[in-house]
Amino acid sequence: MADVTTNPSADAPGDDRRLKKDYGTIGLLFTAVGSIIGSGWLFGALFASQMAGPAAILSWIIGGVMFIFIGMSYSELGTMFPHSGGVARYPHYSYGSFTSFTMGWLTWVAAAAVAPIEVLAVVQYSNNWLPWLQDVKDGQPTLTAWGTVVSVLLMGLFVLVNFFGVRWFQRLNNLLVWWKLLMIVLVIAVFVALAFNTDHFAGDEFGGFAPYGAKGVFSAVASAGIAFSYFGFRQGVELAGETDNPKKNIPLTLIGSVVICGILYVGLQVAFIGSVPSEAITEGGWAEVGANFTGETDVLAVFGPLAAIAGILGAVWLAGLLYADAIISPGDTGMIYAGVTARLSYAMGRNRNAPANLAKVDRNGVPWVSLLLAFVVGCLFFLPFPGWAQLVPFLTSATVLSFGSGPIVLLAMRKQLPEQHRPYRLGDRTVWVVGFLALWSTNLIVYWTGWEQNWKLFLLLILGWILMAAFLRFSRQDHPKLDLAAGSWVFVWFAGLAVISFVGGYPAESEEAGNLGWLGLGTGAVATFVLALLTIWVSLRTALPRHRVEEILAESQQAHAGGPPAH
């Protein structure tokens, strides 16, 4: 097959020229940074402290390293095939339609949930001056009827902005990202300057550095919003078909965004731990630190922890800025993800294992049908998950699992297309280390999330397969070959994760969670390690042969030439 040209602005096979290449180096990087700095920074420091105490600092570092490995695997794939919606399209090239639908379904549902979760963050902070938006039930903020109406309207606003196209949105996003970066730096500086007690980090009266042990550290990565906060790095691959220099911009975005935001998040966590009121820790330990802020800030801590601390420190002006930022930061991320969700269903339409209408693009280069679908499905998340904290663990499991196909395809492509031009190429030995560590990281985060959330994820997978079967049975459009045998590794991987999660001890052995608690931290890590090795072995043995990969790429190229018209 023809090699991918070294011209950075040229189209790789199957790329859609109707998508405008308006993302430059800063534009793509800032889109990822803007996605990462959303609601996670407003709540993550509190929730991570509750689960890990001061050792939450390690949680942020561990999470960042894990996502760097995952980003490295997509850096090679993204420059080989700079196609928008790449997380859903790359499995299609190596393993066929069944695998790409499975991973695309997971990716799409997970992405569709991000814009609603950012809306919930906006509403949660806004509740401090609009108390009719949410009530507190069982210690968790929950939408009221009017809060649900406002949330739907905000979702509509996010979608509307995306209809104006990439170039207009990119300019707006660049301004908002500068604001968000400055806000985090400002919060860190003010908190440290006004009140910073170093005894909070290791003092016996405050529980020491790691009051909840290693389990608390790793649980926080999955369930406290840490992994969730790093998800935005994916924009480097999801928008790869819309950047002018894939060779440079994709790796810089995938890895650089995690490094930049990781440094800021660690700094914020340090500032939070040192500045939280001492009495809030001593009254109930770190696990109840959010419920023990003094005075009138008890309720405010539930809805806006950083603003509550700013108020305690006497920085009322900073609290005001934080309440404003609680609209800007999640709002910007929500707008980004509304567009990303549309690119993913667009990609599935391009794969032809979803309705072809999803790939319709308007004159502004916007997949408008997919954008409308993202709005409708996004609004549905307000019903079963009416609060920020309830949605984060489920979203973490689904999103991380969708990333797991990246390292699998990375390693398979080395066997399937060894001569393919790779503008960003990992070393021949490094690629195996990176691929394995990326998949193991994926397994670990899913395991740490716990069975209480993961059973919903596996049920969602079954629902996706039912929808796929119905689509294949009743749709009149042409479908690609399923290549079910090539995708058999998917069953091995998912079944292994389900079993490990069910017999595991995360979040804890309890009747409510339903897990058995047979595996702990170390034994669970070993089990996920072995599963990663087994999954890679099976996936390499079942990967499509070279000629079939070339057929799929040729089909994708042909679909571009005669694909769905723009409307």
Q: Classify residue 231 by its DSSP letter.
A: G
Burial 70-83 (b: 16+ CB within 10 A, else e): bbbbbbbbbbbbbb
CA dist list (Å): 340 to 75, 88, 230, 457: 18, 12, 15, 21
**Token pair belonging to 155:** 């979702």
Residue 61: its H or E element = helix 56-80
Residue 136: its H or E element = strand 134-137
Above 50 in pLDDT, residue 502? Answer: yes
pLDDT for res 211: 94
Question: pLDDT, tens digit, for every residue of 85-125?
Answer: 777 789 999 999 899 889 988 888 888 888 888 888 788 77
**Of 158-172, 293-307, 526-540, 552-566, which one has max mean pLDDT?**
526-540
Break the chain down into helix, strand, coil percent, rounded to 5: 70, 0, 25
In this prediction, residue 217 has a pLDDT band, given cuts at 50, 70 and 90, of: very high
Q: In this predicted model, which residue has the larger pLDDT, 16 or 505?
A: 505
Domains in the chain with CATH codes = 25-423+430-562 (1.20.1740.10)
pLDDT for res 55: 97
Summary mean pLDDT of the chain: 83
Q: Burial-class residue 241 by CB neighbours within 10 Å (0-12, 13-18, 19+).
A: buried
pLDDT for res 4: 35
CB 253 within 8 A of CB 29: yes
Pick from 308, 304, 307: nearest CA to 294: 308
Average pLDDT over residues 186-204: 93
Average pLDDT over residues 510-523: 78
Above 90 in pLDDT, residue 491? Answer: yes
Pick from 381, 431, 372: nearest CA to 406: 431
Q: In this predicted model, which residue has the larger pLDDT, 26 or 558?
A: 26
In this prediction, residue 445 has a pLDDT band, given cuts at 50, 70 and 90, of: very high
CB 226 within 8 A of CB 63: yes
Phi, psi (deg, nearest 5) at residue 283: -70, -35
CA dist list (Å): 159 to 100, 115, 316, 328, 337: 26, 10, 33, 16, 9
| Weakest-pLDDT range from 147-161, 400-414, 437-451, 504-518 | 504-518
| Weakest-pLDDT range from 45-54, 199-208, 241-250, 260-269 | 241-250
CB 121 within 8 A of CB 42: yes
Average pLDDT over residues 454-481: 87
Average pLDDT over residues 471-500: 90
**Token pair belonging to 274:** 């040192």
Cβ partners under 8 Å of residue 534, min gap 6: 492, 496
pLDDT for res 170: 65
CA dist list (Å): 245 to 82, 307, 334: 9, 40, 25
Sign of CA dihedral 93, 98, 104, 107: negative
DSSP secondary structure string for all residues of 73-107: HHHHHHHHS--TTHHHHHHHHHH-HHHHHHHHHHH
Question: pLDDT, tens digit, for every residue of 44-79?
Answer: 899 999 999 999 999 999 999 999 999 999 989 988
pLDDT for res 533: 97
Question: pLDDT, tens digit, for every residue of 324-355?
Answer: 888 888 887 788 788 778 877 887 887 777 78
CB 469 within 8 A of CB 101: no
pTM: predicted TM-score of the whole model, two decimal places: 0.84
Question: pLDDT, tens digit, for every residue of 361-411?
Answer: 877 777 888 889 989 988 887 776 555 566 677 778 888 888 899 999 999
**Token pair belonging to 39:** 């609601």
CB 376 within 8 A of CB 388: no
Cβ partners under 8 Å of residue 330, min gap 6: 38, 39, 42, 118, 119, 121, 122
CA dist list (Å): 190 to 7, 95, 98, 314: 47, 52, 52, 11
Terminal Cα-to-Cα distance of the chain (whole angstroms): 32
Q: Which amino acid is at 522?
A: G
DSSP 3-state assignment of 224?
coil
pLDDT for res 257: 93
Strand partners for 137: 140
Average pLDDT over residues 442-471: 91
CB 17 within 8 A of CB 217: no
Question: pLDDT, tens digit, for every residue of 415-442?
Answer: 999 999 898 899 999 999 999 999 999 9
